[in-house]
Amino acid sequence: MKKYLFILFLVTSIFLVLPITGCESQVPGPENYKAGVKEVEVDFRGDYTAYQNKPLTLNMIVQNDLGYSIDNVKVSVVGLDERYVSLPQHTENLGSLEGRDIVNEKGELHFLEFIGSINDLSRGTTEDISDEYLIYVDYLSSMEFSPTVCVGPSLYGIEDGGCKGTQSKDPRNQKLPFTGQGAPLAVTQLEIVSGSTGTAQLRLLLSNRGKGEVGKVTLGSSMLGGRDMNCEFVEYSGSNKKEFTFSAKTKQTEMLCDAVIGGSTTIQTVIWMEFLYDYRLKLPQKLTIRGKSRTDSQLIS
């Protein structure tokens, strides 16, 4: 009986010690898929070298590496010279692809192929032809911005026992940098200017940090601590102050939000904002077409 009691005591002691010793080593938690800059990845497996009077197959894998689903996904092959290449189908509509999450750590992927042929060049020469073209990946998606921040009147320098903001040289302001929210579109900077009447202004810098082109961005929900904010782009598109259209050369834009804080002390609270946007990824490619006098034995490489 004493033997069994000792074993029970030993096992209990081990379980009591484990949490204490475990504190000394950092166990990695689940990955945050809505962080950093993420892109749609295209693994291109096409025929970089092709031959006249032969079939042509352009194979690729399109994978959603974002922390969000993407919709209306369209892949297009644009710019192949029709004198040399016959490609009946230039565009494929893929519908939606799920993003990365705890169920699918790598995001949904789609195998894709464009089937065509190389025309009869009638050149009678070994000279190669270089045909440059583009692969476009177009899609619609969203991005969420939800940091926890410190807001309230003590950012004026009055200590009230509440939270403390990350302050700039002006003690009323917080300037917070961000690396991204798991998409090519990202809030890269947030400045919070607290007012003296329970209000605050949020100044956001929204940036295109991806390799492609952001199109129209529309603000969806915008709340601070569960209260709606009044937000608008500094330079908005048309009459809608919640829309901004990036150009090919535009890399960032600014948004201003007026918020009601309430209360007389500083508090930690959550910002919740959702942005809807369209995006185009442009991938330059080159196809080499071999001349007529190549023999079949030379075609195998």
Same fold, 40-141+282-299 and 143-279: yes
Give the pLDDT confidence score for residue 198 in this predicted structure.
Answer: 79
> Helix (H, G, I), strand (E, B), or coil: what is residue 18?
helix
- Topology adopted by domain 143-279: Immunoglobulin-like (2.60.40)
Give the pLDDT confidence score for residue 123 in this predicted structure.
Answer: 56
Give the pLDDT confidence score for residue 15 in this predicted structure.
Answer: 38
Whole-model pTM?
A: 0.81
Phi, then psi, of 122 in degrees rounded to 5: 50, 45
Please give the CATH number for the structural domain made up of 40-141+282-299: 2.60.40.10
**Extents of the domains making up the chain:** 40-141+282-299, 143-279
pLDDT in tens, 195-250: 767 788 999 999 999 999 999 999 999 999 889 999 999 998 788 999 999 998 88
Handedness of CA 55, 58, 61, 64 (dihedral sign): negative
pLDDT in tens, 277-299: 999 999 999 999 887 654 444 44
Give the pLDDT confidence score for residue 158 in this predicted structure.
Answer: 52
Give the pLDDT confidence score for residue 25 in this predicted structure.
Answer: 43
Give the pLDDT confidence score for residue 22 in this predicted structure.
Answer: 37
- List, for the chain, all residue ranges whose pLDDT scores fall below the cut of 70: 1-29, 46-47, 122-126, 153-162, 164-173, 196, 263-264, 292-301
Residues 6+ apart with CB under 8 A from 45: 59, 60, 61
Q: Is residue 222 within 8 Å of 273, Cβ to Cβ?
A: yes
Element (DSSP H or E) covering residue 2: helix 2-22
Phi, then psi, of 263 in degrees rounded to 5: 80, 170
In sequence order, what E strands does the chain have? Answer: 40-44, 49-51, 55-64, 70-78, 85-86, 91-97, 109-118, 129-145, 148-151, 173-177, 185-194, 199-208, 213-224, 227-228, 230-233, 243-245, 252-260, 267-290
